[in-house]
Structure 1
Amino acid sequence: MQIPFIDLKQQYEQNKEEIHQAITSVLESTAFIMGPQVAQLEKSLAEYTGAKHVLACSSGTDALLLALMALDLKPGDEVITSPFSFFATAEVICLLGGTPVFVDIDPVTYNLDTERLQEKITARTKAIIPVSLYGQCADMDEINEIAGKYNIAVIEDAAQSFGAEYKGNKSCNLSTIGCTSFFPSKPLGCYGDGGAIFTNDDQLAQKMRSLLVHGQSARYQHRYIGINGRMDTLQAAILNVKIKYFPDEVLERDRIAKRYTEGLRPAVDSERIVTPVIKSDRTSVYAQYSIRVKDREAFIAYLNSKQIPTAVHYPVPMYRQEALSCLQIDPKEYPVTEQVSREILSIPMSAFLTEDQQDYIIETILSR
């Protein structure tokens, strides 16, 4: 049985005709940069999330970078974030001369542990970037409340959670600024790099709009030092097609994830694996369906021998990356991150995973 880790091909085939029409429209218009499809996408994203301002941009990484630039992050400033995520979250802090400060993760959700957040705040703390990992939002109310005490901005790294809900509100519209990614493998993905920034703050929106076009306030008038952070029109056109079907895909991802969780329950009860836990006041879009096992390498080899692909997100915590060795962080300060990074792995997940494929994966895991 052939099982793709993420079935982008089937998704493409379902919407192939509309996607081709959208691409052709851009090619025929030759409006390759800042074409009307970009503004159309921003409008759709605003309607979906409820955010007042949405700015389409070149990637999820650039979304985070632009957010920090808008907050005037300077060398010596500190930004608190999770050590268990993709490197871009810490990378953008360092690119601007800031210092990433890590908080260990919650052992159940793998998101930033809010009980340990306040102890990391100093006079140099400029922002907090909670990561909504694997598709489930972090504890945003608690984070916002703590940040409010110290007048600190909160940037939700929602690269994996676009479409998720937190207490009835959409991810990306839960804090000062929200940032997401439309990398092809994301729940809502384009066919290259792409991202978006969300805010309800008029001044921040205006500044970020300028920063993503080289800091221009008007043509050839540069108010800030900015970047080339625009989303190209072709990617916007593709997303304009895919977002129409996205709500249905979110429901299907949830159904498939719950089916995984129920089917794998015997392995959980026998303590052979740990499956995802979603808090009752929120939903997940399951950017990955990630489980934990004690003998990960042997487990992966077993699944691969049965033609079941796997991936590990993320095997090396931020503070163990060579690029951040200058921080001289003791891994013993992060026991939960250390354990989860040794045990975590992801199994096939997409809205197009068939029941036969899923049954085979479940039966294979239970048979080990």
Structure 2
Amino acid sequence: MIPMSDLQAQYKSIRREVEQAVIEVLASGQYVLGREVEAFEEEFAAFCGSKHGIAVNSGTSALHLALLAADIGPGDEVITTPLTFVATASAIVSVGAIPVFVDIDPLTLTLDPVKVEAAITERTRAILPVHLYGQMADMDPLRLLAHRFGLVIVEDACQAHGAEYFGRRAGSIGMAGCFSFYPGKNLGACGEGGFVTTNSDAAAERIRRLRDWGQLERYHHVEKGFNYRMDAIQGAILRIKLRYLEGWTETRRALGQYYGQQLAGVPGIDLPLEAEGRRHVYHVFAIRLPERDALASRLGKAGIQTGLHYPVPVHLQHAYADLGYRRGDFPEAEAAATEVLSLPIYPELSFAKAREVADCVADRARVHA
């Protein structure tokens, strides 16, 4: 079996460093926040090119706190994409705001700036682009719209650690950037974890307060907050992994290019596009084809695991039926949801195995072309 990802292989490659870091945390007796988390905050913020970094317990918490720091609240509208993990919309709802979906660019599968302006109303307060699959959304047009209409941009960068847009890192362009360190991410914890980047002193101060019960100092709560703190063990592990992230990213990019070369010209398959000026970090390698489910089944029988990211867009999820959207409202996102298939890609995947995957995809695609 060739898996979608292999966390055990990654662990084995850095086992001694990780285990030593964990032992040191256990010996310290400091298990929540603390020195390791503070050091990771400085290092990952610098990696992203941001002034401040605040570590939290999940990517969803990061989104929640970023929206609160932007003063998004009940009745406000936040424009985002329906082709994303449900946490994007959930964070908007959690602050009492209303997700307003806009269709995607069919080439990049990210929020289409051309369609955003038509969705802006007097209640719109923010734009929340999702850097999907490892590629950043088209940020310059979105920034112009935000400036023109007085809106805040919060980046959902949960799949885009180290991705770039004309030389700027994910998480450094909007008022805040939000990251997930779920184990399968390009930078993954051994458990849950999240992060907010921002260049705003005021936003950073408030997010730090909100993640720890709204405390200005111990037992002095100036606003209602949350228990969104990062565990010290996760901070220590992420510090180790961050040292390897650039190398892992370059391997992902090389594998992505290799897949592209091997699958170029295969009938019926559209390959992921790395848009001009962007650095795609290939959180997933998502191809498109009309017979997606049939190909996934054939690859599974051949011992190749694939993934679906995401087969049901958020506006068609039962949990969000109350928003009033219907099938056909966002045709590009709906089409992508039925056609996108993620192939195995991770730094420990050998090029021989990648060749095996590509050959299998090409053979089975051509048979049914």
- Alignment gaps of 5+ in structure 2: 365-369
Deviation at 1:331, TM superposition (A): 2.5
Deviation at 1:338, TM superposition (A): 1.1
Residue 346 of structure 1 aligns to a residue in which SS?
strand
Q: In structure 1, what is the equivalent of residue 367 of structure 2?
A: none
Aligned-residue CA RMSD in angstroms? 0.8
Alignment TM-score, normalising by the size of structure 2:
0.97
Q: In structure 2, what is the equivalent of residue 290 of structure 1?
A: 286
Does the CA-based 8 Å contact 2:161-2:281 persist in structure 1? yes
Q: In structure 2, what is the equivalent of residue 5 of structure 1?
A: 4
- State the distance in 2 between where 1:126 and 1:107 align: 26
Residue 367 of structure 1 aligns to a residue in which SS?
helix
Q: How does 1:188-337 map to 2 (within 5 A)?
A: 188-267=187-266, 270=267, 272-337=268-333
Residue 303 of structure 2 aligns to a residue in which SS?
coil
Q: In structure 2, what is the equivalent of residue 138 of structure 1?
A: 137
- 2:92 maps to a residue whose letter is I
- State the distance in 2 between where 1:132 and 1:252 align: 20
Deviation at 1:366, TM superposition (A): 1.3
Residue 54 of structure 1 aligns to a residue in which SS?
strand
Does the CA-based 8 Å contact 1:266-1:366 persist in structure 2? no
Count of residue pairs brought into register by the alignment:
364
Q: How does 1:19-168 map to 2 (within 5 A)?
A: 19-168=18-167
Alignment TM-score, normalising by the size of structure 1:
0.98
Deviation at 1:51, TM superposition (A): 0.4
2:360 pairs, out of 340, 364, 367, with 364
Does the CA-based 8 Å contact 2:3-2:306 persist in structure 1? no
- State the distance in 1 between where 2:293 and 2:204 align: 45
Deviation at 1:333, TM superposition (A): 2.0
Does the CA-based 8 Å contact 2:316-2:326 persist in structure 1? no
- State the distance in 2 between where 1:95 and 1:171 align: 24
- 1:54 maps to a residue whose letter is G
Does the CA-based 8 Å contact 2:127-2:154 persist in structure 1? yes
Deviation at 1:296, TM superposition (A): 1.5
Deviation at 1:130, TM superposition (A): 0.1
Identity of aligned residues (%): 40
Moved over 2 A (4+): none
Deviation at 1:150, TM superposition (A): 1.3
- State the distance in 1 between where 2:45 and 2:310 align: 31
Q: In structure 1, what is the equivalent of residue 350 of structure 2?
A: 354
Deviation at 1:330, TM superposition (A): 2.5
Residue 38 of structure 1 aligns to a residue in which SS?
helix
Residue 109 of structure 1 aligns to a residue in which SS?
coil
Q: In structure 1, what is the equivalent of residue 174 of structure 2?
A: 175
Deviation at 1:72, TM superposition (A): 2.1
- 2:123 maps to a residue whose letter is R
Q: Deviations over 1:274-316 (max 9, x none)?
A: 1100112011111100111111221111100100001100000
Deviation at 1:227, TM superposition (A): 0.8
